[in-house]
Amino acid sequence: MSQSHSQIVSFIWSICNLLRGIYRRNEYRKVILPLTVIRRFDCILEATKDKVLEAIPRLDDKSDNIMFESLTRITGVKFFNKSKLNMKKLLDDPENIAINLQSYINDFSPNVVKIIEYFSFSEQIARLQESNLLYMVLQKFVNDELDLSPRAVDNTEMGLIFEELIRIGAEQSNEEAGEHFTPREVIELMVNLLLSPEQDLAKSHVVKTIFDPACGTGGMLTAAENYIKELNRDAQPHLYGQDWNKESYAVCCSDMLIKGEKAEIHYGCSFEQDGFSTNRFDYMLANPPFGVEWKKQQKTITTEHENLGFNGRFGAGLPRINDGSLLFLQHMISKMRDTKEGGSRIAIVFNGSPLFTGDAGSGESNIRKWIIENDWLEAIVAMPDQLFYNTGISTYIWIITNKKEKHRQGKIQLIDARLFYHKMRKSLGNKRHIIGDGEDNRFDHISQITKIHADFIHNQELETISNTEPSTAIVSKIFANQDFGYSKIVVERPLRLNFMASEERIANLDTIRAFAKLAESKKKDPTQRLKEMEAGKARQEQIKAMLQSLDDSILYKNRKLFIQAIDKAAAANKLSLTAPELKAILEALSERDETADICANSKGKPEADTELRDTESIPLKEDIQAYFQREVLPHVPDAWIDKSKTRIGYEIPLNRHFYIYQPPRALDVIEAELKTIEAEIANLLGGL
């Protein structure tokens, strides 16, 4: 930013000195940002104000659309104001300044009124007036030292000023900024990874559409536009965004109007109110909230998933209710252009969860499977921790595209950039690290990571920098798509039981639910209920008496023979057992026994023992039967695979692929440390 920009930003932010004591530091933006917007619009409309006022009487009976088109044709911008007042004239009536300011705001065109409403600025007007600050704050904004007119500050410069104000406001409210503000260096890297492979951006008057479904204050959209404009001044980027945080939406719309952008920003939840249901985009970027549950949107999302399948946005699967990150990615993939129309590229920031959460067959795994098997996942970059304002966790940039370069097809690049950072002199909330040139202008991390992505080299080794100390590490690995897939098989072993009609085992019957239910009743009438319960208890006693007639010294190791013995005893006691009763008896009187015969089902096939059930994850590239014979059968020869339960899963264990073994410290070093600690503890105890 040039000196003139800095002076303007400094002057505007110095107005916050008036707010001290009444506002907390993290609330200053609630006053500064909307007033900067109003003042800029006020200055822009000043030149055409008289013409607008002349035109209003003949437009009063016209429709809102006709009035909007007519007045914006006069103003030359996409907004107007019908008030006879301007911000300077508001100061002429100090007693009614709050009422007049609100009236002046209400006379803006509907798009601006909506923006100011979403800033919740009416609350700030009342708060400032109550504290006797409103006049003084407005006086500062109309001061001759602050010239925000187009003749002094063009749209591009004003955009830079406003973006700097947004950044300062976000950093001052760092405890909540992570929800609405992505660090500018992270955005720059995402844009570089997204757009650097594109060959057609330099074409004259090229038109590109850019979309962010969680646009916040619009930083990613602006950064992508700037990148394209730097390559080609004649390019025509069209920006599209959606967000459901009112303040962020207001800031984003303000920024776009201030700069005169070709932009369309929607307010609302992207899942429930898709503002661009029929649109397809060239480029998409997003930093969706980390680990945020989607319970409020569950009905809408589940209905679309079940009814529309892949004709909707969520056909691949639904993740856990407490993390909707992969819903955003599916939402974006649904808006990719067909490859015949040029295809699309996506960059999105995630935490570690979407890499590996969810077993084979789960929603998360199925979504990864869908993306990878369609060959859309181009690369994942592991970023340093402590980059964001409201969390210190590690983050990952995913690059998704349906137009992979030929040499990338069928492959996925993993980049380990966790050591590419500089420590900040002063932390901002949880943000203690920054990627970029650093204070010594060494190690331009953004260029380095972008080049690593472009080089596409397996086991690429580079010098990195962490804590200002250079080191060498593997930073890039290339894998085939199938390397991240696996078959999860269920290994069964036969059920082997022995049976005995001992007093101890017969007593177990009372703990079996099916047997206990015999003495229960659902009758509402007390007399009938008691009668049914007494009949049930009598039935229980009959069954126990029948079992007690069996020889309690015989240990049966064959279930079929034991059932025959029970049938014989039941017939002798004139008792006919139901299937649930027999099942309860077998459960109570049995114990697992590896020496017993295998229990077979009605078809003569071995029954599986659920307690011995196990699973194995086998890489997709490996033959399942060969693995089973080599790794399982030598240890459990009677095992088999239940093929009906085999599931295909996908996970991306990025950290495992870049793991570097660290040998344990020598025992004498550890022993010396322990002795030192023991001595320190002894000294502390001695002082008590």
pLDDT above 70: residue 645: yes
Q: How sure is the predictor about 178, in pLDDT bands with cuts at 50, 70 and 90?
A: very low
* Mean predicted confidence (pLDDT) in 402-415: 97
Residue 637 has φ and ψ, to the nearest 5°, of: -60, -20
* Mean predicted confidence (pLDDT) in 424-433: 80
3-state SS class at 299: helix
Q: How many C-alpha atoms does 152 have within 13 Å on its Cβ side?
A: 13
For residue 214, give the amino acid letter: A
Q: How sure is the predictor about 177, in pLDDT bands with cuts at 50, 70 and 90?
A: very low
- Number of H helices and E strands in the chain, helices first, is 27, 18
pLDDT above 80: residue 466: no
Q: What is the 3-state secondary structure (H, E, C) of 570-599?
A: HHHCCCCCCHHHHHHHHHHCEEECCCCCEC
Residue 236 has φ and ψ, to the nearest 5°, of: -125, 80
Of 359, 462, 377, residue with least CA distance to 419:
462
pLDDT above 90: residue 203: no
3-state SS class at 26: helix
* Mean predicted confidence (pLDDT) in 185-202: 90
Residue 529 has φ and ψ, to the nearest 5°, of: -65, -45
Give the helix, strand, coil percentages of the chain, each rounded to 5.
Answer: 45, 15, 35
pTM here?
Answer: 0.85
Instruction: Tell me how far apart the alpha carbons of residues 667 and 241 are, in angstroms, rounded to a whole number.
Output: 58
For residue 207, give the amino acid letter: V
Per-residue model confidence (pLDDT) at position 68: 93
Per-residue model confidence (pLDDT) at position 437: 67
CB 200 within 8 A of CB 403: no
> Which residue carries 């380990």 as its tokens?
416
Helix 97-106 × helix 110-118 angle, to 10°: 130
Q: How sure is the predictor about 470, in pLDDT bands with cuts at 50, 70 and 90?
A: low
* Mean predicted confidence (pLDDT) in 620-649: 96
Instruction: Tell me how far apart the alpha carbons of residues 30 and 123 are, in angstroms, rounded to a whole number.
Output: 10
Instruction: Tell me how far apart the alpha carbons of residues 223 and 177 are, in angstroms, rounded to a whole number.
Output: 18
Please tell me the CATH code under which domain 1-172 is placed: 1.20.1260
Q: How sure is the predictor about 393, in pLDDT bands with cuts at 50, 70 and 90?
A: confident
Average pLDDT of every residue of the chain: 91
Out of 197-211, 358-372, 414-428, give the one with best mean pLDDT: 358-372
Helix (H) or strand (E) holding 453: helix 445-455
Biggest alpha carbon distance in the chain? 111
* Mean predicted confidence (pLDDT) in 496-512: 95
What pLDDT, in 10s, does the model give residues 209-257?
A: 999 999 988 889 998 998 898 888 888 899 999 999 898 899 899 989 8
Per-residue model confidence (pLDDT) at position 154: 86
Q: How sure is the predictor about 176, in pLDDT bands with cuts at 50, 70 and 90?
A: very low
Residue 586 has φ and ψ, to the nearest 5°, of: -65, -35
For residue 473, give the amino acid letter: A
Of 544, 515, 514, 518, residue with least CA distance to 532:
518
Helix 155-172 × helix 29-46 angle, to 10°: 170
* Mean predicted confidence (pLDDT) in 273-295: 93
H-only helix segments in 47-147: 49-55, 64-75, 87-90, 97-106, 110-118, 121-130, 134-141
What the block records as the tokens of 224 is: 């992508």
Instruction: Tell me how far apart the alpha carbons of residues 472 and 546 are, in angstroms, rounded to a whole number.
Output: 78
| Domain parsing of the chain, residue ranges | 1-172, 494-607
Per-residue model confidence (pLDDT) at position 78: 92
pLDDT above 90: residue 268: yes
* Mean predicted confidence (pLDDT) in 276-297: 92
pLDDT above 50: residue 175: no
Strand partners, 498: 591
> Which residue carries 């400094």 as its tokens?
10
Per-residue model confidence (pLDDT) at position 464: 66
